[in-house]
Amino acid sequence: MKAGIRKWLSGGIACLAFAAAAIAAPDEAAPAWKADVAAARATFERETGMALRPGFRIEPTVFPRYYALRSDAPGRPSAYFRDDMKWTANVRSPGWSTSDAAEGSAEGLLRWQRERVQALPLERLVKVKRRTPFVAVIWSAPDCPFCRKLERSLEEAGASVYLVPVGLSADGFRRSAQVYCSADPAGAWRAAMGEGPAAGGGPAREGCRYPHDTMVDIGFFLGRGRLATPIVVFADGSSIVGWDDERGPARLRQVIAGGPAFPDR
């Protein structure tokens, strides 16, 4: 366990190289749940047998009971743990680890995923309203070619979604930050993806800060540790990573026809 911690602190995790080119994170809004960072840190240090080193900090994620171990060094990815340390990600070793056998089963994993989906801060995401109810949450990037394919499918189906805008590169994150803080985020996103007027979005909202860490955290949890774009998550907890011309659109039509939808917040 201690060796795994030292490896993370010294060398980073290859599977999180996606976030390495990200822009520096601004101040993040407090999560909706009551986090106890001091208690989480004490549990982390007790279970790992190591004091938190200078240059690292523990912060709550938007998911109740789950915390991120972050570095002050630009581009270094986060590790994650639950407050009981029975679930960790990139802490004891690269990837996910759980000591709860129920969470390791297919049924348990779906239940875990559904709970994370229910905890999503929809009010902090970008609402892209089309004709349907909000049928999905998408984790998507303007510099991702498969994300553009997804956008075409959403436009054709008239599917309303909540958007978590991120980037595959520093430029992608910069463009997503512009979308997030636009006076018309949905219009700015559709313009960025080539599905709306080039001038869509208008000026930036005064005082808006793009919550970089939160956006990346959401992708890590919804992608079950796989930071690949796009990620499409439906209200029943099921998800699709990537997007093709057959399976993805077919599932989208199925959900629109009779699947559950997210609330309009």
Identify the structural domains of the chain with CATH numbers, from first to last: 2-109 (no CATH), 122-258 (3.40.30.10)
Q: CA 90, CA 12: separation in Å to the nearest integer?
A: 9
pLDDT confidence of residue 97: 81
pLDDT confidence of residue 26: 45
pLDDT tens across the length of the chain (265 residues): 444 444 333 332 223 334 444 444 445 677 888 999 999 999 999 999 989 999 999 999 999 999 999 999 887 889 999 999 999 998 877 777 888 777 778 888 888 999 999 999 999 999 999 999 999 999 999 999 999 999 999 999 999 999 999 999 999 999 999 999 999 999 999 999 987 665 556 678 888 999 999 999 999 999 988 889 999 999 999 999 999 989 999 999 999 999 899 999 8
Tell me which long-range contacts 14-17 makes (C-beta under 8 A, separation of at least 24).
14/94, 15/90, 15/94, 15/95, 15/225, 15/226, 15/227, 16/77, 16/78, 16/90, 16/220, 16/227, 17/77
pLDDT confidence of residue 201: 63
pLDDT confidence of residue 92: 77
Q: Two tokens at 80?
A: 């994650």
pLDDT confidence of residue 153: 96
pLDDT confidence of residue 19: 43
CB burial readout 186-195, b (16+ within 10 A) else e? bbbbbbbbee
Neighbouring CB atoms inside 10 A of 213's CB total 19
pTM of this structure: 0.86
